[in-house]
Amino acid sequence: MGWCSCYKPTLLLIIAFTFFISQSFAAKFSVPFIWPLPAKFSFGNETLSVDPALSLIGTGADSPIVKAGFDRFKGIVFSNGYGFGFVTTPKAVYAVNRLNVVVHNQSEELQLGVDESYNLFITKAIGSGKVTIEANTVFGALRGLETFSQLCSFDYSTKKVQIYKAPWSIRDQPRFPFRGLMLDTSRHYLPVNVIKQIIESMSYAKLNVLHWHIVDEQSFPLEVPSYPNLWKGSYTKWERYTIEDAYEIVNFAKMRGINVMAEVDVPGHAKSWGIGYPDVWPSPSCKTPLDVSKESTFDVLSGIMTDMRKIFPFELFHLGGDEVDTDCWTSTSHVNKWLQSRNMTANDAYEYFVLKAQHMALSKNWTPVNWEETFNTFPTKLHPRTVVHNWLGSGVCPKVVAKGLRCIFSNQGVWYLDHVDVPWDVVYNADPLEGIQEASEQKLVLGGEVCMWGEVADTSDVQQTIWPRAAAAAERLWSPRQFTTGRNGNLTALPRLQYFRCLLNRRGVAAAPVTNLYARTPPTGPGSCFEQ
């Protein structure tokens, strides 16, 4: 036993993977089946049973967030997905019957960079084994609970939940503070319960930001009290989110240590606003981008932001700014006159719009996030607090951080989940720090995000398009780089990801087979979950 801050998979290990499966197979290997891999871990060779009446003790028991996390843990480990044949006779003896959660700071403030580190110790004392999770914040404690849940598995012969390879000692923390998944509810509406299921599944992979691309040109589902006609731009009156729905989603996410970063994509991608307020269009026949020449356009934007600020406490707010085709500005006479009177080109007006929107967000104490075209077009004009969101290709974050701005990595060639021809290993092998050597510049990369654009994904296929590939990115974003990169780095990833995908399935998530040619396709024939 010893700290495995880096591990060495052997050829034997790789061969062994091809021979599994038994319910205790995780016990046979020296790399644990925890996804994403913890930063440091060591383990022994004992098996401990866990009492279904496991009790929560310690300062964590005083926290509603930890308490709720513990209840979810019990639901997952002792009922959902596992058999119901528990040994419940009073005579049954279990090695582990208490979970001690020590939280050093009970603050429930969830912001970018919140301390998510935790230690997890599983030891066997005489008569009563104890599990201790120690964390600086309640959110670190949640991450520890998730890891603990992945170490518990039902043994079909003893009919007990077992922990293999105890004692365990885990010291863990994320590699990046921003580990995101984007959902698009404009191209297709997603019901609130489906969004909640996705948030729940994100917590299993320790993702911590839901980027909610709520509105776009096709539909405007969100209620905005200041401008009540905006959601007339929803597809139907049943495909909408009330203010209460939005609060519910934010709170549900927070209970799982997940921030919600809302997006209002301007000035392009906003055509749906004009269903309720046609004045925001340059003209009824030329509808995008938003009319830059009218002050009333900015009044609507300001009203949206004021209402949304009450719902979304996360410090980052996404202002879009991508794919702005300015033809309607130059071809619509009143807009063109406005441009000329100010001696502006259409490109100047694009910059003017983005900077004005940034100013509005900043005045509401939000940090603006913008898609990379804004940086590509006027890099020196963006506010210094701007976070640039990469998507078009590789090599953008290196340029962004060289200019001292922060960056989120989402290169579409590797981390756009709607690209269903991108296999899991291409997702896994992409690294947000690619091409960035200086430590001071690496710090400016907040992390990355996988994007689930909704043109061809709705409730019928969204979960299997997200999973398992989002998990590949999640390990890249959480685990130390030497675990996921290089000669030894990714050798054990495939069987571990197959295991995690089966764990998702067991927990009710419709994650697709890992190795099919196209993501989200069903199995190609009979076989074990663990081998596809």
Ligand X SMILES: *[C@@H]1O[C@H](CO)[C@@H](O)[C@H](O)[C@H]1NC(C)=O
Residues that bind ligand X (CB under 6 A): 1, 44-45, 105, 107, 109, 343, 425, 428-429, 485-486, 490, 494
What are residue 398's phi and psi, to 5 degrees?
Answer: -55, -40
Indicate which residue of 46, 239, 248, 323 is catalytic. Answer: 323
Q: Choose between 322 and 531: whose C-beta lies nearer to ligand X.
A: 531
Least Å from the CB of residue 122 to ligand X: 15
275 vs 339, beta carbon nearer ligand X? 339
* Closer residue to ligand X, CB minimum distance, 47 or 100: 47
Find the helix or strand (DSSP H, E) in which 135 lies: strand 129-135
Nearer to ligand X, 208 or 463 (CB): 208
Q: Which is nearer to ligand X, 310 or 342 (CB)?
A: 342
Q: Which is nearer to ligand X, 266 or 339 (CB)?
A: 339
What sign results for the dihedral spanned by CA atoms 109, 410, 233, 465? negative
351 Cβ contact list (under 8 Å, min separation 6) = 377, 378, 381
User: 13: which 2 tokens?
Assistant: 């290990």
C-beta of 353: minimal distance to ligand X in Å? 19
Closest approach, Cβ 249 to ligand X, in A, equals: 23
Tokens (6 digits) for 224: 């905005």
Neighbours of 244 (CB within 10 A): 11
CB of 429 to ligand X, least distance (A): 5
Taking CA 202 as the corner, what is the angle to CA 498 and CA 365, rounded to the nearest 5 degrees? Answer: 150
> Positive or negative, the Cα torsion across 292, 242, 213, 210?
positive
Q: How far is the CB of 1 from ligand X (least distance, A)?
A: 6
Residue 73 near residue 148 (C-beta atoms within 8 A): yes
**Per-residue three-class SS string for 469-482:** HHHHHHHHHHCCHH
Shortest CB 514 distance to ligand X, Å: 11
Is 323 catalytic? The answer is: yes
Distance CA 504, CA 508 (A): 6
Q: Tell me whether strands 40-57 and 160-172 are parallel, antiparallel or unpaired.
A: antiparallel
List Cβ neighbours of 475 (8 Å cut-off, separation of 6 or more).
35, 36, 37, 205, 428, 483, 484, 493, 497
Which residues are the active-site residues? 323
